[in-house]
Every structure is written in C-alpha cells, then in structure tokens.
Amino acid sequence: MTYRGRFAPSPTGQLHFGSLVAAVGSWLCARHAGGQWLLRMEDIDPPREVAGAAAGILATLPAFGLVADEPALFQSQRLAAYDAAFGQLQANGMIFPCTCSRSELAGSGGIHRDGKCVGSAQAGRTPAWRLRVPEVEVCFEDAVQGPQCDNLRELVGDFVIRRADGHYSYQLACVVDDARQGITEVVRGQDLLDSTARQIWLQRCLDLPTPAYRHLPVVLDAEGSKLSKSTQAWPLDPRDPTPALRRALAFLGRPLPDRVIDAQGLLSHALADFDPSRLPQCSGNSSA
C-alpha cells in the first residue's frame, strides 16, 4: 500500500513556526516512505477563522519547499460527506441530540456520560449531537509517543459530533477526510494525541480504516505554552524561508548543512538518511 500522509492546518491564523514543524515532519515521513504528501484545509469552523488565512497558508507552504501531490481538500466543501456520516451514525442509533448546558454538566466536570441528554429540555433550543460512548478502552501504538490506552468514557464521555450552531466537530470531519484522502499515517503535533482515541473510536463506528499515528513534539514558547496560530506566534516570512526552515529541521533533530542553500536544498539534505524512528519525543523550546 502506498504511504499517504497529510498536513491539515486550520485557517485560524497564518502559518507559524509550530505548524511549520508539523508540516515539515509529515513531509519528511511521506517522502522518506516514497509516498504522497497531501494537504487539507480544515476550514469548518467559521467563527474561529481569520480572513485570508487559508490563502496565506496555501501560498506560504511552497515557499518552504512543501508542495502537495494533489490539490488541497477544503473541509468547507465536504459538508455532504459529513452529512452522510452523521446520517449513518444516526441510523445506527449511535448519536443523540443534547441540550445540556455547561452548567448542567458542571457536576460531572463538563463530561457527558449517560448516552442520553440529561439536561432540562428547553423549548426552541437547538441541540448539539453527541456520540454515545460506552465503557471502552481504545489502545493504539503511537510511533513516537509509544503505546497509548484511553478509557474514552472516563476521559471525554459522549463527545460532540455536531455542535448546536450546526457546525460539525473537528473529530468527525477529520475522520471522514482521513478516510477520503486514503491517509495511511497521520503525523501531527502531540497536542492532538488526546484526540486520537476519539478518532479511532469514530472510525470503528463508521466502519472506516484506522491509519497509523505519529505525534511529534510541539514547540513551546519561553513560558512553556504551545505556540499557537491564534496568539499570532512567530509568523513566518515566505520571502525569507530558510532561517525558520533551518530552525524547524533542527527542532526535528535533523543535521543542517554548513553552507547556505535554499529551502528545497535544505529539505533534500534533511531527507538524506532520515529515520522516522529517531524523531524527538519531547516538546520543548526551539533554540537553533
């Protein structure tokens, strides 16, 4: 089976150093395996999106030598597929409408566990839809972070598939699209490790294949917090890509050439004798 990897940014801001690390890491794994590297724009959450960010991300990646093998898939154009998955879950009695408010769930730490709405029905209130999560332990092997086992009911309970505002959740869209794009390995930041058990469970509910997972360490700022697009952290300059690219490659443990070369050359250099099993495991600052 041909390796198919992907980079799946959300257009909540321009590409920043943390997302560059995820993009470069997934690109290296795909190219090392002689496979394809795909792009997916996760633009399904308009309230969180920043105008121009999707176009900005798509224009920035090639400047860093990161060129996808297929046209980008836009989640905003995939609603029919999410509707179909939602319908499948509904037909199989796996989801339920829920009008619980935050305060009604405060007693259980915000977690919903009963497989049916425990909130007071409020006339006119649009429900969110949750997946019924039974007592189940989801185990998988993460290629960087090692073996993982999550008791889903304990950890997240009945999680939201479609929000009350009508938008589908990241979990549903991600699972449907990883299957649609034929992704064989998901390489992304460690901050998404705790979404993985939910996604594997959803794959089982929807009868979709489960890819392999490899969660890269995340870049932390000086205060030890994750760099995030929404805090405008460390924007990248597509006109001068090599300093940030060198730093991203160093963060991923790749040796850097002494001589000055362009982005394409840096990536080729980093790919020579790249070994995915030697990617670093722990998050930290970028010091290079």
**Which positions lie near ligand GLU, rule CB under 6 A?**
8-10, 42, 174, 188, 192
Task: Name residues whose C-beta falls within 8 Å of residue 224's C-beta, 6 or more positions apart in sequence.
Answer: none
User: Based on CB atoms, which residue is closest to ligand GLU, 42 or 158?
Assistant: 42
158 vs 185, which CB is nearer to ligand GLU? Answer: 185
Return the number of the residue (99 or 171) whose C-beta is nearest ligand GLU.
Answer: 171
Going from the C-alpha of 52 to that of each of 11, 28, 38, 59, 67, the distances in angstroms are: 8, 27, 21, 11, 20
Minimum CB separation from ligand GLU for residue 21, in Å? 12
The residue (of 10 and 99) whose beta carbon lies closer to ligand GLU is 10
E-strand stretches of 117-235: 128-131, 137-142, 146-151, 160-162, 185-189, 212-216
Which burial class, exposed, middle or buried, applies to 216 when counting CB atoms under 10 A from its CB (0-12, 13-18, 19+)?
Answer: buried
User: Cβ 199 to ligand GLU, closest distance in Å?
Assistant: 8
Q: Shortest distance, CB of residue 104 to ligand GLU, whole angstroms?
A: 29
* Amino acid residing at 111: I
Distances in whole angstroms, Cα of residue 185 to Cα of each of 47, 83, 178, 204, 209: 29, 25, 9, 17, 11
**Amino acid sitting at position 28:** L
What distance in Å separates the CA atoms of residue 130 and residue 163, rounded to the nearest whole number? 9
Least distance CB 10 / ligand GLU (angstroms): 4
- Judged by beta carbon, residue 132 or residue 229, the one nearer ligand GLU is 229
- The least CB distance from residue 202 to ligand GLU, in Å, is 12
